[in-house]
A and B are shown apart, each in its own frame.
Chain A
Amino acid sequence: MFYREAGQFKTSYPSDQAIFPILQDRWTVITILVVAFVVIPLVANQYWLGPILTQFLVFSLAALGLNILTGYAGQLSLGTGGFMAVGAYATFNLVLRIPELPLVVALIVAGVITAFVGVLFGLPSLRIKGFYLAVATLASQFFLIWLFDHVGWFTNYDTAGVASAPSRTLFGALADAGGPLDFLAPINPVVSGPRAATETKYLLTLTVVAVLALMAKNMVRSGIGRTWMAIRDMDIAAEIIGISPIRAKLSAFAVSSFYCGVAGGLYVFTYLGNADTEAFGLTRSFQILFMVIIGGLGSVVGSFMGAAFIVFMPVLLNNVSSVVFGGTLSGDTISNMELMIFGGSIIFFLIVEPHGFARLWQIAKQKLRVWPFPY
């Protein structure tokens, strides 16, 4: 009744190739963007904006990055945490050593650096596949974390190895009042460090994530995305029809690492404020892999759904249990119960739909199409 494309005719190729060919989809996406950009900053409190939503956006971006590599190009990777760390430490060093650099530019440069690192560690993928590749990327995880732990230069010789995000404005020091670009000063808010408003940090993260998600969506629909999928589905056949596996695999590693690197930079600068390698350990790699698996391999929207599940669920359980059982059950019981419910719900969702939330979402859309007269 509400979700039906009957009567929406495409009269030109561009309209047929639109990202969201169905009108209702288009409106849904626009509504979500308006809510995210306008309504949420107006109504949400600090707690919602900071730890909940900003964190969710950052992890969505990282999951999206891994999804490009694992979901679209079929290359299993356990190095996500390491690549996020490269992005985080690269942003930190760029911003620290070149104070004039605007944070957004630093994030992009850091992403490019991570892309190079990703290509380097993606080289084994040309020879090995599947679980063996997972083990090879695991090596990158351990090596990168070891590097940041043991080379003091990366953390500016901090005793405890903590890189703390300095205060920076959106367009950098040049656009501050009195600088050469000082006409930009009124729209040059502080976007990192303790003085930055949570709203600003949220909006910056949201903008970066929205733009990169749009780019990802377009990439996987275009030629490059199709080569990734061809390699994923059958690499020999893909090679025979003229796709270069080297180029496809390495470009997947580069794009994926770029996304993970930007996510790492955002994680430190717009959410945590400071970070050590602990934030990017092996657990982080697994966490993001789980997001991709639960959300749905090979789906942009699935990355967001998976991130939402992994980020919100423990917080939700913690909040619910402290409201419901606070004062009746002991703290130990509540904490252990949360862990069990979280694990249980992962198993439950994977049994109900092994292809993740993205598949559930697809089924729901299909059902909506024929509703209220299912056949």
Chain B
Amino acid sequence: MKLKNLLVATVSAVVLAAPFTVSKAAAEGEQFIPMLAYRVGPYAAGGSGMFGAFEDYLALLNARDGGINGVKLTWEECETEYNSDRGVECYERLKNNGPTGATVVNPLSTGITYRLIERATADKIPIVSLGYGRTDATDGRVFPYVFPLITNYWSQNTAKIKFIGAKEGGMDKLKGKKIANVYHESSYGKETIPILDKQAEIYGFEVKHYAVPHPGQEQKAIWLDLGRRYKPDWVILRGWGVMNPTALTEAARVGFPADHIVGVWWSGAEEDVRPAKGAAKGFIAAGFHPSGADFPVLQDVIKYVQDAGNGNVDKKRVGTIYYNRGIIHGIVTAEAIRTAQGKFGNRPITGEEMRWGLENLNITEERIKELGAEGLMQPLHVTCADHEGGGNVKFQQWDGEKWVLITDWIKADRELLRPIIEASAAKYASEKGIEIRKGMSMGSDCGG
């Protein structure tokens, strides 16, 4: 090896290593939001739609309003491939960017949420797990930095049972019925098992759990058992990504009716049913928002961001389920920043201040109308004890072309859940030696 070659090798090694150390120069007066996106892999349909829309909404605020009260929003993506371990790496990479560090982190993955709960709490960066994540984090007295906003998994699950009960003609008719729970074998999929068992006890139905290993393309044996042997009255599909169309196709193969399969909201998007073609017709899924691009806020996104050539995801996807969910992520983040600014001043806020903003977030019916999102999202009122804030679910059915809403808001059975959530959170608190917050703690009234 020539000495020159050695020199070239050294220089190129230094050049290659340089990007690791570069932290992008951030202008003062910017609010940084890390994006733990996943645009490749078996869950890319969800990741690209939601993160694209999330970024589109922030871009809209920048383009139309000049940011939030003059504070520009910035963000940077880091590809996680929905891999929890990559998520940790991405979080560590992005958490100190921007003048005030990461404002808030949206993992969009229950696995990553679990990985980050302790890290983010130690770093004082709030986690928003909107419609997913660790359910007992709803008890904000134990989890000050975690916000499973709008509707957590347990709430959604009770709404599903209510829906099934209504279809059967009353909750008392559930007695003796058989329900199969087909779940994605991950922390996400397992989350509702205890609550289903509990409800089975209360209402007298029978529940059987079927685990589908990641990524979920192999379900033949499960559906054969479901269709030929167990023959349940209803199937709850806790799917995600490619697991969903596979499940629907297999169900059709064994002749299980699609309109007796009730999906979680991570199986209720266009991308989940289109690949299953005819097999998906009649499939029912939960949701906390509708699809469609007629909302004024989406028209603004099209006008200011997508048509200006600054879109962060293909324009064809505007108005799909995942896209609209990303817009809701954007609205919640922006409104929490606004709330925090109301208390701390119109400047970039820190993670700690953002935590206060989230805990005192109150998005009313009027505010939703002002935002141009009427009908897109439900009112949200977060408190110290209740980090969920909403708790309502709608059900929609795939007619072969689009999702059609088939119910109004169904309230979750929060009276049933609250004691279980509190007990679970208390167990976590005692394991970890966490003191349960009381009174005026961290700038919020926690009662007691």
User: Which positions in A face B, CB cutoff 8 Å?
Assistant: 45-48, 50-52, 55, 149, 159-162, 164, 166, 193-195, 271-274, 276, 278-279, 281, 314-316, 318-320, 322-323, 326, 330-332, 334-336, 338-339, 364, 367-368, 371-372
Contact = CB atoms under 8 A, between A and B. Distances in A.
Contact of B1 (A166, A326, A367): A367
A320 B21 CA distance: 11
21 contacts: A46-B96, A51-B88, A160-B110, A160-B134, A160-B191, A161-B187, A162-B114, A166-B431, A194-B118, A194-B121, A271-B88, A276-B84, A276-B114, A278-B187, A281-B214, A315-B89, A322-B76, A322-B77, A335-B38, A335-B39, A336-B40
A47 B211 contact: no
Given A318-B79, A331-B39, A149 B89 contact: no
Contacts of B76: 322, 326
A338 B48 contact: no
Interface string B111-148: 10011001101100000000000111000000000000
B20 A339 contact: no
Given A51-B89, A159-B193, A273 B118 contact: yes
A339 B42 CA distance: 13
B114 A160 contact: yes
Contacts of B431: 166
Contacts of B22: 323
Interface in B231-250: none
B221 interface: no
A159 B19 contact: no
A44 to B, nearest CB: 9
Contacts of B39: 331-332, 334-336
A48 B135 CA distance: 32
Contact of A274 (B38, B52, B114): B114
Contacts of A46: 92, 96
B82 to A, nearest CB: 10
Interface residues of B, number: 55
B367 interface: no
B66 to A, nearest CB: 19
A331 B88 contact: no
B122 A195 contact: yes
Contacts of B20: 47-48, 52, 315-316, 319
Contacts of B136: 159
Given A55-B89, A160-B134, A322-B77, A331 B51 contact: yes
Nearest to B3: A372
B93 A164 contact: no
A272 B88 contact: yes
A283 B391 CA distance: 37
Given A161-B190, A318-B78, A367-B1, A149 B211 contact: yes
A164 B187 CA distance: 13
Contacts of A334: 39, 77, 79
A354 B45 CA distance: 36
Nearest to A326: B76
A46 B84 CA distance: 19
A159 B1 contact: no
A50 B119 CA distance: 12
B312 A330 contact: yes
B424 interface: yes
B229 interface: no
Contacts of B432: 166
Contacts of A162: 114, 187
Contacts of A319: 19-20, 93
Interface in B1-37: 1-3, 16, 19-22, 24, 37
Contacts of A322: 76-78
Given A279-B84, A320-B16, 9 more contacts: A47-B93, A50-B92, A52-B89, A162-B114, A194-B118, A272-B88, A319-B93, A371-B3, A372-B2
B85 interface: yes
A77 B93 CA distance: 34
